[in-house]
A and B are shown apart, each in its own frame.
Chain A
Amino acid sequence: MTTVAAKPATMAQALTRALRDAMAADPAVHVLGEDVGTLGGVFRITDGLAAEFGDDRCTDTPLAEAGILGTAVGMAMYGLRPVVEMQFDAFAYPAFEQVVSHVTKMRNRTRGTMPLPLTIRVPYGGGIGGVEHHSDSSEAYYMATPGLHVVTPATVADAYGLLRASIASDDPVVFLEPKRLYWSKDTWNPEEPASVEPVGRAVVRRFGRSATLITYGPSLAVCMEAAEAARAEGWDLEVVDLRSLVPFDDETVCASVRRTGRAVVVHESGSFGGPGGEIAARVTERCFHHLEAPVLRVAGFDIPYPPPMLERHHLPGVDRILDAVGRLQWEAES
């Protein structure tokens, strides 16, 4: 078997490749959304798909998100495997009724006779200088809705592996793409994209002994940077990348927290009613006797997403993470 050396690729390229490979492998896979055809999507993730597979497999739809997802539901009912692109996080809200009333419930309300294998791709999060309605962290809405898987990659390899797994899943998946990572590069071997990651498994990105940073998607890189900076303070931080918010990998998260005894959850989403509250509660319920300090959250503020010239104050950064780590009751150990 010939192998091609791993070379730098962007997350956007990995996502495009995942879509292309999924469409080539299964004629039931159809891509639909706004501008996904001729243009290749506003982020160019569907670039070349219409040319290769035709307009019927990669379809420019009318500009109506509820209609896009609603028709995708009907296509899935007929045995297709639609992959829907929502252009931006905050443009996906018109489709929300279809998500909560049908996408998430169809399997359950029909006693398993009518599963809906469809993937909803949503570019999400901030950090790209977008004007309003272009930078929302909408994961908490989806997490709170039973029947969905909620998946988000933080690395180039995961972008490929998790998207392939999501499309192959017989359950509906909201696939959240951190748009500030679209152009992030990583060494990745596109000829050996064998790692079709199972949905629902977290991964330890950095091993450490002092405390665990629990994070996902756009905040992973910030946490890795914070972990490096923490060495100067004498902290050896572990970093867990959740990869999937639903299903939630209690096992990997709790194993880490039991080792380190301290945990901080980091995400862009607001803290009130955000994913961090659920994660902190789960960790506390399962690891209480291993904890040296309360589980803390470093999150976006509980405000409408700020204008681009102010967004850096909102997004969790290295300093805010290190401040939180510093509040993990270290004095108890001395």
Chain B
Amino acid sequence: MTVMEQRGAYRPTPPPAWQPRTDPAPLLPDTEPYRVLGTKAADRADTELLRTLYARLVRGRRYNAQATALTKQGRLAVYPSSAGQEACEVAAALVLQEQDWLFPSYRDTLAVVSRGVDPVEALTLLRGDWHTGYDPYEHRVAPLSTPLATQLPHAVGLAHAARLKGDDVVALAMVGDGGTSEGDFHEALNFAAVWRAPVVFLVQNNGFAISVPLDKQTAAPSLAHKAVGYGMPGRLVDGNDAAAVHEVLSEAVRHAREGGGPTLVEAVTYRVEAHTNADDATRYRGDAEVETWRRHDPVELLERELTERGLLDEDGIRAAREDAETMAADLRARMNQDPQLDPLDLFAHVYAEPTPQLREQQAQLRAELEAEAEAEAQAQAPADSASAPQGGHR
């Protein structure tokens, strides 16, 4: 049989018809970040909401300044400021209902505070007297996550568990532009989409992962476009426009609550301060760029909108600032008190019950502390009694 004859005898079976599994078009983000302030959309914005957002932004700005000042006074070990990103921080907390959950990253203490957590407890991690200073169940705020994007799968699991129980709970998880490169970002979005979990992923694209600009982080058209690959909608919003961020996040939360599954929101913003007080931003960016963003400031944008529309006057601005000063003074006063530390607590929460080995180590530390206290007491004793040694080799 010749080759040609063989070919003639072969009758290929066509493969099963291929269809796209999801229509990608409705998932695509807008071509430009969505804006409300200074546009026609502002006319239909809820004025009470705008006033609330403004008051929160002014407080948030003052909070960032106060926390940064506390690092200079040695009261905080470190502070990653969200100055310039207050619109995202404040809106993320405001769009949630009481039973919902917030999953913050380390730069999001302002969102945590905006959710109702005591600022002293929110800053415990950064003061360094413990890791998480608040009870996560009290305000339904997960611990601040330092390893990037690792909190995102937690948000998915929690929201999934709540849905399995039939509870009305949405989880909003926060991550930065750098965090979108992490594997956990990918896995969390994939799981959320497959499970249709009620989760909103808020990416604050603030331009830098410490020093590395977005161009070195991704080749995607936008971070919001990444949503399409998972089969969830991506939304692009001006992250300095508090009204726009609030609207987009509210829609995403509603979508999740109604069983529509997750949404990825990219808020385009800018980290006007350095990564932390320990960073030197002049090594990787110029003043001109920072200045451009300072002129697109979230507090000023909203203030201008409100004053131009006669919704805010000098008295209103002064009242907002005084309220922020009161918050800052209270925070300052309370952070200036030394925290009460019990070193023996180190062993208290490693396991439900300490292992025998931890009990031994705790006893060792207790003995060290007692010896220290004894040595201190001897050192402080009057000189004449010091001539009579009480034993011991210290």
A residues at B contact (CB < 8 Å): 30, 56, 61-62, 64, 66-67, 69-80, 82, 94, 97-98, 101-102, 105-115, 146-147, 149, 169-171, 200, 246-248, 250-251
Task: Report B101 CB to chain A, min CB distance, Å.
Answer: 8
Q: Do A74 and B155 have beta carbons less than 8 Å apart?
A: yes
Q: Is the CB of B119 closer than 8 A to any CB of chain A?
A: no
Q: Kindly list the 10 A-B residue pairs having the minimum CB-CB distance in the complex, ordered from nearest.
A: A74-B157, A70-B153, A67-B187, A71-B157, A109-B131, A74-B158, A78-B161, A247-B355, A74-B154, A112-B349
- Known contacts A66-B184, A109-B132, A112-B348: A74-B150 contact under CB 8 Å: no
> Is the C-beta of B147 less than 8 angstroms from some C-beta in chain A?
yes
Residues of B within 8 A of A80 (CB): 161, 164
Contact with A along B131-154 (1 / 0, CB 8 A): 110011100001100010010111
Q: How far is B191's CA from A101's CA once the two chains are assembled, in angstroms?
A: 20
SS of B interface (majority): helix
Given the interface contacts A70-B154, A73-B157, does A250 sit within 8 Å of B356 by beta carbon? yes
Q: Flag if A101 contacts B147 (CB, 8 Å).
A: yes
Complex alpha-carbon distance, A154 and B152, angstroms: 37
Cα–Cα, bound, A105→B350 (Å):
7
Q: Are A106 and B143 in contact (CB under 8 A)?
A: yes
B332-351 to A contact mask, C-beta < 8 Å, 1/0: 00000000000001001111
Checking A62, A82, A169 against B191 with a beta-carbon cut-off of 8 angstroms, the contacting residue is A62
Cβ-defined contact, B161 with A75, below 8 A: yes
Q: Is the CB of B162 within 8 A of A78?
A: yes
In the complex the two chains form, what is the Cα distance from A102 to B348 in whole Å?
Answer: 17
* Interchain CA distance A107-B353 in the complex, whole Å: 11
The answer to whether A64 touches B351 (Cβ under 8 A) is no
- The yes or no answer to B114 lying at the interface (CB within 8 A) is no
Bound CA–CA A30/B143 (angstroms):
24
**Known contacts A78-B158, A114-B143, A248-B356, then 11 further A-B pairs from the complex at CB < 8 Å, ordered by chain A residue:** A67-B156, A67-B184, A70-B150, A70-B187, A71-B188, A77-B154, A97-B147, A102-B154, A200-B355, A247-B356, A250-B357
In the complex, which residues of chain A have a beta carbon less than 8 angstroms from the beta carbon of B150? 70, 97-98, 101-102
Q: Given A56-B164, A97-B150, A107-B349: A113 and B137 within 8 A (CB)?
A: yes
Among residues of B, the one whose C-beta sits closest to the C-beta of A102 is: B150
Interface size class of B (residues with CB under 8 A): 35 or more
B136, A67: Cβ atoms under 8 Å? Answer: no
Q: Please, how many angstroms separate the alpha-carbon atoms of A75 and B132 in the complex?
A: 19
Contacts of A149 in B (CB 8 A): 351
The CA-CA distance from A200 to B183 in the complex, in Å, is 35
Contact A77 B191 (CB under 8 A): no
A74-B135 in contact (CB<8A):
no
> Separation in Å of the B117 CB from the closest CB of chain A?
13
Which chain A positions have C-beta within 8 A of B96?
Answer: none
Q: Residues of A contacting B348 with CB < 8 Å?
A: 111-112
Write out the residue numbers on chain B whose beta carbons fall within 8 Å of the beta carbon of A114.
132, 136-137, 143
Closest residue to B354 on the A side, CB-wise? A247
- Name the B residues within 8 Å of A30 (CB-CB): 164
Q: A106: which B residues are within 8 A, CB to CB? A: 143
> From A60, which residue of chain B is reached at the shortest CB distance?
B194
Q: Tell me whether A67 and B191 are in contact in the complex, defined as CB-CB below 8 angstroms, given that A74-B158, A75-B157, A110-B136 are known contacts.
A: yes
**Known: A98-B150, A108-B349. Contact between A71 and B131, CB under 8 A?**
no
How near does chain A come to B129, taking the closest CB pair, in angstroms?
11
- Measured CB to CB, the nearest residue on chain B to A114 is B136
Shortest distance in angstroms between A310's beta carbon and chain B's nearest beta carbon?
Answer: 33
